[in-house]
Amino acid sequence: MFEGLQRRAAFNRYKDLTHHIRDGLAYAYRLHGMHGDAAKDVQVYLDLQSRVEPFPEVANALREQQALGVKVLIVSDVETRYIEGYVSRLAGFKPDFVGSSEQARIHKPNPRIYHWVLRRTGLEARDVLYCASPQFDIQGALACGIKTAWLRRAHGRLGRKNATFEPGDVPADYEIEDLDQLTAICRANLTC
C-alpha cells in the first residue's frame, strides 16, 4: 500500500513525506475499519527517525567505495533534516552529495528527481549506479538510463529477500543483499 501511495505522490504536486505517511495511515484506518488519529500517530514515525541506525556494513562499505574513487551520492524522499541525521550516524563517512525530494520538490520515482541529481552533480546517467531497496526507486532510475542495483536484504527490518518485481516493472541490472556486494560490483567495474 505504501509503495502505491508513493508512486502516486511522485506525479502530484510536492508535499513532504510526513504528509503522505499521515494520509496513508488515515487510508489504512478507513480501509480496515480501525480507529486511529493519523495526524497524532504520524508523530510516532517522526520520533523514531532519531533512532534509525545504519546496517552494520554501511559506513565501511561506503568508505571503501570512496577509496575506489567512486562518488557516493545520497538522495531520499525523507525530509532533509532526517537524512542529515542518518548520515551523521555513518562514522567516518562523508557523502559527496546529499539531496532530498524536499529540495528537488518532487518525489521518487518521478524521473525528474534523478535528472535533478544528475544536474546538481554534473554526472551523466551512464556514469551512475543507483542502489535502492524499493522497487519504485529502481523504476525511476531505469527510466533515466541509469544502471541499478536492487538491494534485497535477506534479514532485518528491511528484509526483502522474497520480494519480486511487479508485472511490468523492468528488472534491475544487479541484485544485492548488502552494500559490501555493491562495493564488489564497483570494484569489478572499475577494473574492467
Same domain, 28 and 121: no
Same domain, 13 and 88: no
Q: What integer pLDDT is reported at residue 181 of this predicted model?
A: 97
Same domain, 58 and 104: yes
Residues 6 or more apart from 151 whose CB is under 8 A from it?
Answer: 131, 132, 133, 160, 176, 177, 178, 179, 182
Expressed as residue numbers, the domain containing 13 is 2-50
Same domain, 185 and 116: yes
Q: How many domains does the chain have?
A: 2
Contact 52, 86 (CB under 8 A): yes
Cell of 111: 524521473
Residue 9 and residue 143: Cα distance in Å, rounded?
17
Same domain, 45 and 59: no
Q: What integer pLDDT is reported at residue 155 of this predicted model?
A: 66
Q: What integer pLDDT is reported at residue 15 of this predicted model?
A: 83
CA distances from 129 to 12, 39, 166 (A): 27, 37, 21
Q: What integer pLDDT is reported at residue 178 of this predicted model?
A: 95
Same domain, 46 and 65: no
CA distances from 89 to 53, 93, 103, 134 (A): 7, 9, 21, 22
Q: What integer pLDDT is reported at residue 192 of this predicted model?
A: 47
Instruction: Supply the CATH number for residue 110's domain.
Output: 3.40.50.1000
Same domain, 12 and 101: no
Cell of 124: 551523466
Residue 90 and residue 53: Cα distance in Å, rounded?
9
Q: What integer pLDDT is reported at residue 16 of this predicted model?
A: 82
- H or E stretch covering 97: strand 97-100
Same domain, 109 and 153: yes
Same domain, 58 and 31: no
Q: Could you give phi then psi for residue 40, rounded to 5 degrees?
A: -80, -45
Q: What integer pLDDT is reported at residue 20 of this predicted model?
A: 80
Q: What is the pLDDT along the chain (192 residues), one digit of tens a residue?
A: 556 666 667 777 888 878 888 888 888 899 999 999 988 888 888 888 888 889 999 999 999 999 999 999 999 988 899 999 999 999 999 999 999 999 999 999 999 999 999 999 999 999 999 999 888 889 999 999 999 999 998 765 555 555 666 667 889 999 999 999 999 999 998 864
Domain boundary among 12, 33, 50: 50
Same domain, 125 and 172: yes
Same domain, 36 and 61: no
Same domain, 57 and 36: no
Q: Could you give phi then psi for residue 98, rounded to 5 degrees?
A: -130, 125
Q: What integer pLDDT is reported at residue 54 of this predicted model?
A: 92
Q: What integer pLDDT is reported at residue 39 of this predicted model?
A: 86
